[in-house]
Structure 1
Amino acid sequence: MKKSLLGTLTALSLTAGVAAHAEAEHTLVFSSWVPPTHNINAQMLPKMIEMIEEATDGRVTGEVRLGIAPPPAQMDLVLDGAVDVAYVFHGYQPGRFTSYKLVELPGVDTTAEAASVAYWNLFQEHLAELNEHRGVKVIGLHTHGPGQLHTNTKIAGLADMAGLKLRMPGGVAGDVGAALGATGIQVPAPKVYETLASNTADGVMMTIDSRQGFRLTEVAPNYFEIPGGFFRGSFAYIMNEDAFADLPDDLQEALEEKVFGEPISRMSGAVWDAGDAFSIQLTKDTDGNTITQASAEDIASFASIIDDVTASVVKEVSAKGIDGDAALASFRSELGVE
C-alpha cells in the first residue's frame, strides 16, 4: 500500500512545461499520459501554456501532471473535474467517438500542421453537431503525422504484413491492418516499448515521431513507410466546462480569440511535423535501423484498400446523423486533395 501510495504521489508531483508565473491568478491543471521526453510534454504542452500566459498577460498559467490515469480515462478525468485540461486519442475509445475517423483515413499526403487546421475547420462546420465530446469543452484538435509501420524484422513490402501481430491504436489503423492481413493487438502507447521488447508483437503501426518518443529505434529497428501513411491519428484537447466558466469574461475572451481553436491546433501539428523529421534523422543515424519505402506496386495495391476503408468509414459516420461524404470532401478540399 505504501509503495502504491508513493507511486501515486510521485506521478502527481511530476510536472512539465512552463512554471507558473508568481502573479498568475488562475492555474489550469493539465493531464498527460505520454513519457516525459515525448514531444507532447517536451514541446506541445509547454508551448500551449506559453500561449495561454501571453494571451492573458500572465493571469492564467498551467501545470502539467503526468501519469494520473491511462489514456482511455482522460475524458472522464476532465468530466469529473479531477483536472482542468487533457488530450484524448479518439481511437482508444471505440463507440464513444466515431466522426474522427474521417481525418484518420489514408490517402492524404500532407503535413500534420495543415491537417490539424483543416480538422478544426471540419469540426466547426460538420462534426460539432454530433456532440461526441458532450460534457466537456473542445479547445483544439490535431492529427499526428502519417502513421507508418515499425517492426522487429525487416519487411520488403505490404505482402509481408500478412500474419504479423501488430499493435494498432484502434480506429482507422485497425481497419487498415485487418485489410492487410495483420492481427491487431490493442495496447496503449505507453505500453508499446515493453510489448515489443517482450516479443508479444511483431511490430506497431504508429507515428513516425514514436521512434524517438517511445524509443522504437531500440525495439522496432525496421521502419516501413508508404506515402500519406497507413492512417493519421486524431487527438482532441478538452477542458472542463466549469473550469472555463469560472474564469473572468475577459480571460475567456482572450483564450477563445488567441489560443483555443485554430491557434493551438496549428501549433500542435507543426510540433508533430518537426518531431517526425527528427525521428527520421534519428533512424538514419542509429546503427541497425533500416528505412524501407513502399514500391510502386505496393502503392497501387494499397489504393484499393484506401477506397474500401474510406467507403466503410463514410457510411459509419453518416449513420451518426451527418453527411459523411460532404464532411470528407470539405476536409480534403481544404488540403487540396480530391
Structure 2
Amino acid sequence: MKHLIRSTLLTFGISLTAGAALAADTVLTISSWAPPTHGMNAKLWPEFTKMLEEATEGRISAEVKYGLGAPPAQFDLILDGVADVTWIFHGYNPGRFVASKMIELPGYEGNAEAASVAYWRAYEKYLAEANEHDGVKVLAMMTHGPGILHSETKLASLDDISGMKLRLGGGVSGDVGAALGATGIRVPAPKVYETLASKAADGVMMPMEARAGFKLFEVAPHSYSVPGGFYRGSFAIVMNQDKYDGLSDEDRAALDTIAGEALSQVAGRMWDEIDQIGIETIEANEGNSWTEASESDVATWNEMTGPIIESVLAEVSDKGIDSATVQTFIAEQMSGN
C-alpha cells in the first residue's frame, strides 16, 4: 500500500511538471549528463524549473534531456543550439577555462553553498573579464563540496597516495594528484564506476556526494580527507545566448531575477545536501570507512599546497586577472556566508 501511495504521488508530481511544460509558451531544453538519480537531476533542475515557472508566471518551463552530448562537449552543445541550458565542468576542457581554477584551490574554508555564492561574486567582479564563456549566457557559477580521495583499499596516510592510479577530473585536482605522486587518469564522471570496477584506477578524487551519486560505495568504499578538501570542482550553468536574447523583455527580466547569485546559492546548497547523502553511505554499507588526515599529514599537506596555489595564481594572472586579490576576495566572501 505504501509503495502504491509513493508511486501515485510520484506520478502525480510528474504529471504536474509535464502539465506546466505543456501550458508554457516556451519550454527550455536542459541537457544533463549525470545519471537521472544524481542531485543535479533529482534536485537542482526541478528547483530551477519551479523558480523559472514562478518568475515568468508559467510562460517559461523546462525539461531535462539525457544523452545529447558527452560531458566535455556540453559547452559547444549550447553554443550550437542543440540544447538551451546545461551545466559544464570546467576541468573537462583543459586550457579553455583557466580563471575557473580560482575556486578550485585548496585552503578555502566553508561549505559548497558559501563557496558557490563567493564564486558568483568573484566571477561578476573579476573573472568574467577573462571572457572564457563568450557566446553563452552564464546563469550561475557553482562548486561542489570539498574533494575527497575514495579508493578500493583503505589509506592510512598521505604517503599511501604516491604511486596510485587516480581518476582526476581535471583542473586543480590534476595538479593535486601530481603533487601527491599519483598517476592521473582522465575520464568523465559517468565513467568513473566502470573505470574503478575494471581496476583501471585505484581510486578517484570526487566530493562525498559521488559515493551515492555515482555509487562509489560499491567500488571505492574507503574515503580519505584533508581539512577543506584536496580541491573543489568548478561548474557553470549556461544558456544559449540566442535563446536568451529571443525571450521577451519581460521574460528576460524574470529569468535574470532567479539567475546569478540566487541560482548559484541554490546550486551550492544542493551540493551540500547530496554530500550528506554520500556521507550516510559510509555507515549504511559494511566495509566502508572514512579516514581523516592526521595532524602530521595535515601539516605536510599544507606545505604541499603552496606550490600548487602559486602555480595556479601565476596561470590566472597571465589572463590579466589579479589572482591574488581574487583568492583573498573568495576567502573573505566565504567567511561571511
TM-score by length of 1: 0.93
One-letter amino acid of the counterpart of residue 131, structure 2: N
Deviations 1:182-211 (A, max 9, x none): 110001100000000000000000111000
State whether residues 16 and 65 of structure 1, in contact with CA within 8 Å, keep that contact through their aligned partners in structure 2. no
Distance in 2, Cα, partners of 1:17 & 1:222: 41
1:308 is displaced (CA, Å) by 1.2
Whether the aligned pair in 2 keeps the contact of 1:17 and 1:45 (CA below 8 Å) is: no
Instruction: Tell me what 1:116 maps to.
Output: 116
Correspondence list, 1:70-109, <5 A:
70-109=70-109
Q: Report matched runs for 1:275-290 at 5 Å.
A: 275-290=274-289
**In the alignment, structure 1 residue 45 sits paired with structure 2 residue 42:** no
Matched residue, 1:243: 243
- 8 Å CA contact retained: 2:168, 2:187: yes
Match of 1:145 in 2: 145
SS state at 2:23 partner? coil
Q: Where does the alignment leave 5 or more consecutive residues of structure 1 unmatched?
A: 1-14
Instruction: Confirm or deny: 8 A CA contact 2:109 2:334 kept in the other structure.
Output: no
Which moves more between the two structures, 193-202 or 277-286? Answer: 277-286
Partner Cα distance (2:16, 2:172) in 1: 31
Matched-pair contact (CA < 8 Å) for 1:17–1:46:
no
Letter in 2 for 1:304: E
Q: Which sits farther off after the overlay, 197-206 or 322-331?
A: 322-331
Q: Is the 8 A contact 2:150 2:220 kept in 1?
A: yes
Give the whole-Å Cα distance in 2 for the aligned partners of 1:93 and 1:260. 24
Amino acid at match of 2:298: I
Q: Distance in 1 between matches of 2:182 and 2:109?
A: 23
2:288 is the counterpart of 1:310: no
1:227 partner amino acid? P
CA distance in 2, matches of 1:68, 1:282: 31
Q: One-letter code of the match for 1:232?
A: R
Task: Quote the Cα distance in structure 1 between the aligned partners of 2:235 and 2:314.
Answer: 22
3-state SS of paired residue (2:335):
coil
| Alpha-carbon distance between aligned partners in 2 of 1:280 and 1:336, rounded to the nearest angstrom | 24
Question: 5 Å matches for 1:101-250?
Answer: 101-250=101-250
The CA deviation at 1:16 is: 12
Aligned-residue offset at 1:288 = 1.1
User: Contact conserved, 1:20 with 1:62, CA < 8 A, in 2?
Assistant: no
Question: Residues 277, 197 of structure 1: CA spacing in aligned structure 2 closer, same or farther, 3 A cutoff?
Answer: same
Question: How far apart, CA to CA, are the structure 2 residues paired with 1:266 and 1:309?
Answer: 27
Deviation at 1:114, TM superposition (A): 0.5
Distance in 2 separating the partners of 1:42 and 1:159: 38
- Offset, 1:107: 1.1
List runs of 5+ in structure 2 lacking aligned partners.
1-13
Question: Displacement, 1:306?
Answer: 1.5
Query: Could you tell me whether the CA contact under 8 Å between 2:109 and 2:331 is conserved in 1?
Result: no
Q: Distance in 2 between matches of 1:249 and 1:282?
A: 46
Q: Distance in 2 between matches of 1:40 and 1:280?
A: 17
When normalised by structure 2's length, the TM-score is 0.93
Contact in 2 for aligned 1:44/1:271 (Cα 8 Å): yes
* Greater than 2 Å deviation, 4+ residue runs: 15-20
Contact 2:30–2:84 (CA under 8 A) maintained in structure 1: yes
Cα pair distance change 1:67/1:59, threshold 3 Å: same
Separation in 2, partners of 1:171, 1:186: 11
SS of equivalent residue, structure 2 residue 223: strand
Could you say which residue in structure 2 is the equivalent of 1:256? 256
- Note if contact 2:75-2:88 (Cα within 8 Å) is conserved in structure 1: yes
Q: How far, CA to CA, are the matches of 2:102 and 2:15 in structure 1?
A: 32
Conservation of the 8 A alpha-carbon contact between 2:110 and 2:335: no
C-alpha distance in structure 2 between counterparts of 1:216 and 1:135, whole Å: 36
Matched, 1:299 2:298: yes
88 and 296 in structure 1: CA distance in 2 versus 1, 3 angstrom threshold: same
Please give the alpha-carbon distance, in whole angstroms, between the structure 1 residues aligned to 2:15 and 2:105.
32
Q: 1:325 to 1:17 in 2, by over 3 A?
A: farther
Aligned partner letter, 1:269: G
